[in-house]
Chain A
């Protein structure tokens, strides 16, 4: 099943993305984002503890 994800990026972030694409790393913005997901996310999977959301209380106290 396919899911369409919307990734909000400001124009500065898009500039960096487009510069990266110009280097020939990926064909377009979506392809570049998927490349990053495949290359980076598998190496940075959450441990059980990290999956717990930060509570509003602990965030306010930090």
Chain B
């Protein structure tokens, strides 16, 4: 494998973060220095900060703990792959928990002032003119979390070592904002804050070849598609008296489709495992059967994930 060219590097000290330009075709490497440190991460389209990395989209597609072979997505309506996760020596990342905040440390621990990921992100982003309101939910690298039976969520201690790292290949020009998680009174970083190393490198041809092809969809919209593409620049919200709703596909008319069933088919429908949800409405149960059948027969990737192929390079 050919060598990557080092473009820039930093060591982020506890309590700090750094806004870093990572252009398409460059790799952002985040590396443990001492081990045991969570790194919170936000990202923006470098040319349009209103497009940003979205944990909700990412966890829907890749689950609660994305690792190698997954993408970091931007929010709807853009929904573009911003990065490809090229390498991950640990495989414990989190997109479930939000960034920690000053409120958490005051309410739970009584701190009037405490390092927290929201404020660290805000301060790092300020270098590019962004405000504390522009911080979004973070992708939490090296954060060990789990969902327990019953739905409770849990942060575990982590077991990362010096040199453990993740590598993100940028698919568009981005502003990446990694920060050393400020949680020193939680298990997140094993109750102590440590520095982390951040590098930007030029991707090799081998790196680029690892990215699965992603189909471009017409509904991945840009501001040119918006009914209002002007960024609102004042804080007060005011009603637009000229506003007329233009919701897609509305009114969503409903048609009753008649289906003739015999006794045996009716009995089959009554026995269907979800029929009870519809309180005797067999038409609704039949609709459930149909879409469940359709999903099983035609949907090849879960939860709206795009069907990707490793046979060709991405066109992003």
The answer on A and B forming one complex is: yes
Chain A residues engaging chain B, CB cutoff 8 angstroms: 1-14, 16-17, 20, 29-30, 32-42, 44-47, 50-54
Bound: A48/B227 CA distance, A: 51
Bound: A40/B291 CA distance, A: 10
Is the CB of B289 closer than 8 A to any CB of chain A? yes
Q: B59-67, B134-142, B292-300: which one contacts chain A? A: B292-300
Bound: A8/B193 CA distance, A: 57
Within 8 A of A (CB), among B275-291: 275-277, 279, 282-284, 286-287, 289-291
A5 touches B283 (CB 8 A): yes
Please give me the residue from chain A that is nearest to B263 by CB atom. A1
- Enumerate chain A residues within 8 angstroms of B234, measured Cβ to Cβ: none
- Cβ contact of A50, chosen from B256, B273, B279, B296, cutoff 8 A: B273
A52 touches B276 (CB 8 A): yes
B294 touches A16 (CB 8 A): yes
Bound: A50/B269 CA distance, A: 14
Q: B108-116, B194-202, B247-255: which one contacts chain A? A: B247-255
- Enumerate chain A residues within 8 angstroms of B282, measured Cβ to Cβ: 5
Is the CB of B259 closer than 8 A to any CB of chain A? yes
B290 touches A36 (CB 8 A): yes
Is the CB of B266 closer than 8 A to any CB of chain A? yes
Q: Closest CB of chain B to A11's CB: distance in Å? A: 5
Pick the most buried of B292, B293, B296: most chain A CB atoms within 10 A of its CB: B293
23 contacting pairs across A/B (C-beta < 8 A): A1-B263, A5-B260, A5-B269, A6-B256, A8-B256, A9-B255, A11-B249, A11-B255, A17-B257, A29-B257, A30-B259, A32-B290, A33-B290, A34-B259, A34-B261, A36-B292, A37-B286, A40-B289, A40-B292, A40-B293, A41-B289, A46-B276, A53-B279
Is the CB of B1 closer than 8 A to any CB of chain A? no
Closest CB pairs A-B (n = 3)? A36-B293, A40-B293, A6-B256
- Enumerate chain A residues within 8 angstroms of B297, measured Cβ to Cβ: 39
Please give me the residue from chain A that is nearest to B278 by CB atom. A53
Q: Closest CB of chain A to B187's CB: distance in Å? A: 29
Please give me the residue from chain B that is nearest to A43 by CB atom. B296
B273 touches A33 (CB 8 A): no
Bound: A36/B297 CA distance, A: 10
Is the CB of B262 closer than 8 A to any CB of chain A? yes
Bound: A40/B288 CA distance, A: 10
A2 touches B262 (CB 8 A): yes
Q: Closest CB of chain B to A43's CB: distance in Å? A: 9
Is the CB of B268 closer than 8 A to any CB of chain A? yes
B273 touches A45 (CB 8 A): yes
- Enumerate chain B residues within 8 angstroms of A29, measured Cβ to Cβ: 257, 259
Known: A3-B263, A41-B289, A54-B276. 19 other contacts (CB 8 A): A3-B260, A5-B282, A6-B258, A7-B256, A7-B257, A7-B287, A11-B252, A11-B253, A20-B298, A33-B259, A33-B289, A36-B290, A36-B294, A37-B268, A38-B268, A39-B293, A47-B273, A51-B276, A53-B276
Known: A39-B293, A46-B276, A50-B276. A8 touches B255 (CB 8 A): yes
